[in-house]
Structure formats: C-alpha cells, structure tokens
C-alpha cells in the first residue's frame, strides 16, 4: 500500500517490508512505564549529551514546549566517557529504584557505548520501556549515522536500502553531489553550501520557490555539472533554472562547458536558464556561453539574477 503519514508527506511511501516485533506490553501493563532517551553531540560545548525524560512515547518537542522541567540532560566528557555514577543518576532522575534502577543503568551504559562505537550522529530511543517485571527495553529507535565515519563501518554502508530514499537523491550521491529535493518551481545549481542557501533566499525574494538544494562542490567539472543539470530537469515542477557559481577553486569555464554539454545532449530544454558565473575564468566562461548560441540569460550581479528569475516566472504565468 501507499502509506501516508505526517512523516511521509502527502505523496506517501510505498510499503515494501513489514517488521513483526515481539509484544512487550504483556500482563501487568499498569506497572509498565515509557521513557524518552537520546544521545547526541552538543556542538557548542564539544561534548556528547544524553537527553532523557519520564515522558516517553510522545514528541520530545511537545514535552520541551509544555513541560520543560521534565527533560534532563547529562553531559559526557569525551576524554573520560560515561561514568557509572552518571548512568545511576539518570536512572534515579527517572524515578526508578531497585532492580529497575540497576537495569536502566546497564541500558544507559550500553546505549552510550553503541552510540560511540558506531560513529553515530544521534541515537534516539522513544520509548524506552520498563516492563512489569522490571526489564528495560528499546521499543522504538531512530539512529543517524555520521557519513564521515562510514569508511570504518563498511558493513553498515552495505545495509543501505535505496528503496527507502528519494531516487533523485540516490542518483545525486553517485555523482558526489549534495542534493536535497524540495517542492518549489526554480531549480538551482550552486557551488558551496553557504552560497546555495543565499541563492535559495534570492529565489524566494524573486517570487519563486526553490525546487532543490544542490551544491556541486569546489571540485566541480564539466561532467559533474552535466549530471547536476540532468538531475534538476527530472523534476516536472521546475519552471526555471538558476546556475550561480562563484569560481574560487572551481573554474567557471568548466561549469560553462558542463552547461553547454548538457544542453546539447538533452536537445530542446523546456525551461529558461539563468547563469551567473563570477570568479576564476569568468570571462572565458561568459564567452563560451555567448558563442554557444544557447537560449540562456546571463547575469553578473546576484540582484540581476534575481530580476531575471522574476522575469521568466512572470512570462510563464
């Protein structure tokens, strides 16, 4: 079936697998209790932090907004790691005692070890369940692996399920493109995440909506740009494309050649293209595009690029 939930969005998600799990809410249910627990990095302090609450099984943002006093935090010194007294303090703050407290302390210790050994960016267990016979179980979990650590965990990379990912984002990763699909009408191709964010702002100011975040990176060449171009054009909602390249490491003429190659290969491209190339070899890049005979709009300033976006959108309205 096509499952539609708040997480999938209105387009839904095709169900391809079903997980059958053990029922842990067995007799004595009145004695069970759900908790929230996560481990993540506090970038401001440079320390790992365990966030936990007695209010498990619900959205932690809702708890933070309405009952922030029920959220606890335990900072972990990365040079020392989680100390036994910290695990015990977490169990105590959750209101546990006796066997349940000992089991929770062991659970917290194992959770933190798993977070560190897997090079994860986040472990979120919601809910952590105390059963009626004082077992502590992870009933549901969300784990984000740090891509930068995957070279140490090739077995994890092999478990990747591309059917659960956006096909366009999968294709982008194969070309080493940083790509996130959005719901707008203006495709953008940029080098550098900061410039990409600024470009998306410019598109909004111009009256459009970004159709994607796409950073071709600092080592982009004609082949990379061609792959990015093909990716953007797969989106039927795209009404215009803004290419905004500041040539520092990347050479503007390579980007221009990639645009020309893609344009010629694809033939009749249905959407107008606005190109802004500044920096290394920008003059050569402009000449390449001007001599190519392509139907593209050329801009020097970011404001000019924004005005051209407005113009082409109004012409299509």
Report residue 107 as tokens: 């659970």
* Residue showing tokens 């410019």: 202
- Peptide linkage before 127 cis (omega within 30 of 0): yes
Locate the DSSP E strands across 149-272: 178-181, 186-190, 212-215, 240-247
CA-only gyration radius of the chain, Å = 25
* Count of beta carbons in the 10 Å neighbourhood of residue 301: 10
Task: Report which of 249, 317, 290, 217 is spatially closest to residue 275, judged by C-alpha positions.
Answer: 290
63/170 Cα distance (integer angstroms): 35
Catalytic positions: 36, 124
| Residue pair 190/244 in contact by the 8 Å Cβ criterion | yes
Report the DSSP pairing between strands 33-42 and 212-215.
unpaired
Report the DSSP pairing between strands 240-247 and 186-190.
parallel
Locate the DSSP E strands across 57-190: 71-76, 120-130, 136-138, 141-145, 178-181, 186-190
Task: Report which of 248, 268, 249, 245 is spatially closest to residue 257, judged by C-alpha positions.
Answer: 245
* Count of beta carbons in the 10 Å neighbourhood of residue 151: 9
Contact residues for 109 (Cβ-Cβ < 8 A; gap 6+): 82, 84, 87
């Amino acid at each position: 079936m096509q499952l539609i939930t708040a997480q999938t969005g209105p387009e839904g998600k095709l169900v391809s697998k079903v997980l059958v799990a053990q029922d842990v809410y067995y007799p004595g249910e009145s004695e069970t209790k759900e908790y929230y627990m996560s481990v993540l990095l506090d970038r401001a302090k440079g320390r790992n932090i365990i966030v936990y609450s007695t209010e498990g099984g619900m959205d932690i943002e809702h708890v933070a907004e309405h009952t922030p006093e029920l959220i606890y935090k335990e900072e972990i010194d990365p040079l020392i790691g989680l100390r036994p007294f910290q695990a015990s303090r977490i169990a105590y703050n959750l209101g546990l005692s006796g066997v349940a407290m000992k089991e929770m302390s062991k659970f917290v210790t194992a959770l933190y070890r798993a977070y560190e050994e897997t090079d994860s960016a986040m472990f979120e267990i919601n809910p952590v369940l105390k059963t009626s016979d004082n077992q502590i179980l992870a009933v549901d979990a969300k784990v984000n692996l740090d891509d930068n650590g995957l070279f140490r965990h090739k077995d994890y990379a092999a478990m990747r399920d591309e059917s659960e990912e956006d096909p366009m984002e999968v294709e982008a990763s194969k070309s080493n493109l940083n790509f996130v699909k959005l719901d707008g009408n203006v495709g953008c191709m940029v080098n550098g995440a900061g410039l990409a964010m600024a470009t998306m702002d410019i598109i909004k100011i111009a009256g459009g909506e970004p159709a994607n975040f796409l950073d071709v990176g600092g080592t982009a060449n004609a082949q990379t740009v061609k792959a990015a171009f093909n990716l953007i054009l797969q989106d039927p909602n795209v009404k215009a494309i803004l290419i905004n390249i500041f040539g520092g490491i990347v050479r503007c003429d390579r980007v221009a050649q990639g645009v020309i190659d893609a344009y010629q290969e694809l033939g009749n491209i249905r959407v107008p293209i606005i190109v802004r190339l500044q920096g290394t070899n920008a003059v050569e890049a402009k000449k390449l595009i001007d001599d190519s005979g392509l139907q593209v709009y050329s801009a020097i300033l970011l404001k000019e690029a924004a005005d051209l976006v407005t113009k082409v959108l109004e012409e299509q309205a």
